[in-house]
Amino acid sequence: MTIRSNRLALCGLGNVGRSFLGILRSQEALLRERYRVAFTVVGVADSGGAALDPTGLDIEAILLAKRAKQSVATLPNVGRTDMNALAMAQTVDADILLEATPVDLQQGKPGIDITRAALRRGISVVLANKGPLALAYTELAEKSDLADQSWGMRRRAVGEEAPAVPKPALRFSACVGGAMPTINIGRRDLAGCRIDRVEAVLNGTTHSMLRAMETGMSYIEALIDAQKRGIAETDPMLDIHGWDAAVKLTILANAVLDCPVSLSDVSVEGIALLSTEELQEAMDRGERIVLLALAKRTSPDDQDTKHPYKLSVRPTALPQNHPLARMDGHEMGVVYYTDIAGRASATTRERDAVPTAAAMLRDVLDIVQ
Ligand SMILES: NC(=O)c1ccc[n+]([C@@H]2O[C@H](COP(=O)([O-])OP(=O)(O)OC[C@H]3O[C@@H](n4cnc5c(N)ncnc54)[C@H](OP(=O)(O)O)[C@@H]3O)[C@@H](O)[C@H]2O)c1
């Protein structure tokens, strides 16, 4: 049995990055047996520096250092205080780089530079960080296989020649609802359909807060609970004010709806002004308020928008039998409405960052296979 070995580099060793390292260990035997692949981690970086070893770093030592709140730059023999995450991406000999540093919606740093550097060197990239896509989806798609390919379904026009050197892959299924296959359903499974409408709850933090507030928990208690579980953004205001959901909707619109929009095309309202009373009153009316991300197909004579879909994120009351209203506080969900495949929906229940790391592993497998 031949096992193919792949070299990984990982930027960001917080909830997601550490969970990813954990599942590399827990799934090692399954990956060998089912997929005939093995992974060595040849480089890691956090905010304090990097650690490199072309023969493979000791994952346990990395996790121990992070548990002790130390940078990997302090690891004996392999730690590098003189190298940041971007410098690592510019030099490391890896097949795939995983990016799980915090979201920056202003400059996209450091994720956008790391992603560009890796793609430029022919290294495939798997993103958990949405920032680079929110700011530069079209550019990154052009630099990677995204512009040509859709999860195994050739989009290249018949007769057009394939590039002599294949472009590096870019995958980001973890960016739009953790382990929920939001992007994969839309790009792959609804092939051939016209998508008329997408309704989704894409932000776990605000959804768990809304469901907790319905039971009488205060806004602050509900936020602290989400933070303890590691699902809140490093800056939780991105969740509360609806920006995290809006970024995800922007990525979905680009990747699934072929709609070249940016964040400024989404009308955004968060949950900061919602009170416990409003949530409970909705329940009394047989409704539930969710932070709804909506992409609605516009009609050709709609003068209001330059794009084929109108995009919004706002608190919305849904009837209690709606698939997104039936979800508990640990779930996220998406509902696609199509012309020929009917209504397709998916939900995910995630209590911590492990399912997001699982989505990164799914992307890695998609690339190596
Ligand atoms: N948590 C989730 O459930 C979830 C779900 C989907 C997507 N995501 C995305 O995944 C990414 C990571 O989330 P997280 O929850 O793991 O965040 P986190 O716990 O705050 O961890 C962030 C990590 O990035 C490192 N970092 C910060 N600035 C850096 C820099 N300039 N260069 C290199 N490393 C840097 C931090 O270093 P230190 O260790 O030194 O502080 C830390 O290891 C975010 O973009 C988030 O939006 C998260």
Q: What's 266's domain CATH number?
A: 3.30.360.10
Q: Tally the domains of the chain.
A: 2
Tokens 């795939």: give the residue. 96
Q: 24 and 98, same structural domain?
A: yes
Q: 77 and 92, same structural domain?
A: yes
Q: 342 and 364, same structural domain?
A: no
Full-model pTM: 0.92
Q: 16 and 165, same structural domain?
A: yes
pLDDT at position 153: 41
Q: 148 and 23, same structural domain?
A: yes
Q: Who lines ligand 1 at CB under 6 A?
A: 11-17, 45-48, 71, 84-85, 100-103, 110, 128-130, 174, 178, 230-231, 233-234, 353, 356
Contact 15, 227 (CB under 8 A): no
Q: 360 and 312, same structural domain?
A: no
For ligand 1, mutation pick of 46, 205, 243 (most atoms within 8 Å of CB)? 46
Q: 274 and 208, same structural domain?
A: yes
Q: 163 and 243, same structural domain?
A: no
- Which residue puts its alpha carbon closest to atom 40 of ligand 1? 47
Q: 211 and 248, same structural domain?
A: yes
Q: 143 and 228, same structural domain?
A: no
Q: 286 and 211, same structural domain?
A: yes
Domain membership of residue 233 as a residue range:
182-349
18: domain CATH number is 3.40.50.720
Q: Could you read off the pLDDT tens digit of each residue along the chain, which spans 369 residues?
A: 799 999 999 999 999 999 999 999 999 999 999 999 999 999 999 999 999 999 999 999 999 999 999 999 999 999 999 999 999 999 999 999 999 999 999 999 999 999 999 999 999 999 999 999 999 999 999 999 987 754 434 444 455 566 667 899 999 999 999 999 999 999 999 999 999 999 999 999 999 999 999 998 888 898 998 888 877 878 899 999 999 999 999 999 999 999 999 999 999 999 999 998 999 999 999 999 999 999 999 887 776 667 889 999 999 999 999 999 999 999 999 999 999 999 999 999 988 899 999 999 999 999 998
pLDDT at position 135: 92
> Would you tell me the crossing angle of helices 111-120 and 131-143 to the nearest 10 degrees?
20
Contact 101, 115 (CB under 8 A): no
Q: Alpha-carbon torsion 18, 19, 22, 28, what sign?
A: negative
Q: 95 and 224, same structural domain?
A: no
